[in-house]
Structure 1
Amino acid sequence: MDTPPALILASTSRYRRELLARLRIAFDVVAPAVDETPLPGEAPAALAQRLALAKAHAVAAQHPQAVVIGSDQVAELDGQAIGKPGSHARAVEQLRAMSGRRVVFHTAVAVVCAAHGFADVKLAPVTVHFRTLDDAQIERYLRLEQPYDCAGSAKSESLGIALLEAIDSDDPTALVGLPLMRTCALLRAAGLDPIAAAS
């Protein structure tokens, strides 16, 4: 049996690393050097797709024989992108704004294999319905979870699920940061069958 090509995750996210590990394929992690500044007038979905591809291309340029996965997530409320809060005060602002609202989380995944000229990206939008939250709930949640590295300030895989009324998605891991069904489809298209490569 042919040895499958090396698989690299172009990400520093521990959430994406944990999700990709579910596929039981050996992979390396390489941090991509990519400017994540949005372009003027760039829609959140387009931003997520562009950055996912840019991350994969940046690492694939250094490892042309490897199959490289890049991913990015941008939350959207009223047409505006919501990024990682980075601070408690910003997280409070985000959760107040999203209280009682629907927020779309655009999660994009890209796969690039430079040696074979393969590059593609898929988008997995997730609509999240937030409960109506009061300031006391927001403060207590943030103090307990400190989700300052998560777009939208809520970890659905942890206590953040208590902030939500419903999640609408056709790829169940997309909200956490890596849509595994779309990832598997892209890997197969790149010539890496996840089931054959698993151990």
Structure 2
Amino acid sequence: MSTLPHGGGAPAALVLGSASPGRAQILRRALLPFRTVVSRVDEEAVGAASPGATPAELARLLAEAKAEAVAGVVAAEGVDRPTLVLGCDSVFELDGQALGKPWEPETAIARWRAQSGRSGTLHTGQHVILLTPGTDAAGAPASGATVSAGVAFTDVDEATIRAYVATGEPLQCAGGFTIDGAGAALVESVEGDPNAVIGLSVSTLRRQCSVLGVDLSALWGSSNCDA
């Protein structure tokens, strides 16, 4: 299998289909230039369309929907080089139930009461679509994956739960927590890829790009997009 770019051309461009600051920071730390195009996908509608999906399957379906939505926008704009469109979504699983973003403080408080001192699984779906000049998004080659990591929480008292929720950090995080902020103080351990818990596994992204014929290392230090 040949790898892109061909003939010494410019490195592939990378588009992140997510507004997550955590995912953006992961890409910056990994020296992967990118631009962001937010998907605007209705997450509840995706879940309602797949009522039998497991939490891991739901994460993959959401990531796929977001990648496809963004790929349509980017293809309509037109691309001048191979362009990777990355859609991601995370779902936290506790007692077999899929938990997304709590959004409201009281919901976050209730979830923390339930998960304090316990363990769950954070599933991150990643879907990559490869666009090339002169083609549209329909039928473009793609690679999907789900990365799962176990998360064990400390035993947290009510005052600490309320103090954490008051920071606002957990309201837009799957499972009501993150390990790259204040929530790190409440996480006992992570079994698996810590980046996947934040929302994006770079090692998995590299393998997905390889499946699509793209050498991710060719993007290191390039300036093909505005981050």
TM-score (normalised: structure 2): 0.81
Stretch moving more, 159-168 or 94-103: 159-168
- 2:32 pairs with 1:30: no
The correspondence for 1:181, drawn from 203, 208, 219, is 203
Q: Counterparts of 1:32 and 1:120 in 2: how far apart (Å)?
A: 18
- 2:124 pairs with 1:124: no
Identical-residue share of aligned pairs (%): 37
* Runs (5+) with no aligned partner, structure 2: 1-7, 133-138, 222-227
Matched to 2:94, the amino acid is L
The correspondence for 1:8, drawn from 4, 15, 29, is 15
2:41·2:69 contact (CA, 8 Å) conserved in 1?
Answer: yes
The correspondence for 1:78, drawn from 95, 99, 104, is 95
1:75·1:106 contact (CA, 8 Å) conserved in 2?
Answer: yes
2:12·2:219 contact (CA, 8 Å) conserved in 1?
Answer: no
2:39·2:69 contact (CA, 8 Å) conserved in 1?
Answer: yes
* Runs (5+) with no aligned partner, structure 1: none
Q: Counterparts of 1:152 and 1:25 in 2: how far apart (Å)?
A: 27
1:145·1:159 contact (CA, 8 Å) conserved in 2?
Answer: no
Structure with higher helix content = 2
Matched to 1:137, the amino acid is T
Tell me what 2:194 maps to: 172
TM-score (normalised: structure 1): 0.92
Answer with 1 or 2: which has the greater Rg.
Answer: 2
Report the count of equivalent residues. 198
The correspondence for 2:215, drawn from 189, 193, 196, is 193
Q: Counterparts of 2:190 and 2:54 in 1: how far apart (Å)?
A: 22
Matched to 1:52, the amino acid is A
The correspondence for 1:155, drawn from 165, 178, 181, is 178
Q: CA deviation at 1:49?
A: 0.3
Q: Counterparts of 1:71 and 1:50 in 2: how far apart (Å)?
A: 10
Q: CA deviation at 1:22?
A: 2.1
1:53·1:120 contact (CA, 8 Å) conserved in 2?
Answer: no
Higher RCO (C-alpha 8 Å, min separation 6)? 2
Stretch moving more, 93-102 or 59-68: 59-68
2:17·2:38 contact (CA, 8 Å) conserved in 1?
Answer: yes
Query: RMSD in angstroms over aligned alpha carbons?
Result: 1.7
Q: Counterparts of 1:125 and 1:33 in 2: how far apart (Å)?
A: 24
Which string of whole-angstrom CA distances, capped at 9 and with x for unpartnered residues, describes residues 139-197 of structure 1?
1222245321111122211221221222100x230001111110121122223322222
Deviating 4+ runs (over 6 angstroms): none
Tell me what 2:67 maps to: 56
Tell me what 1:68 maps to: 85
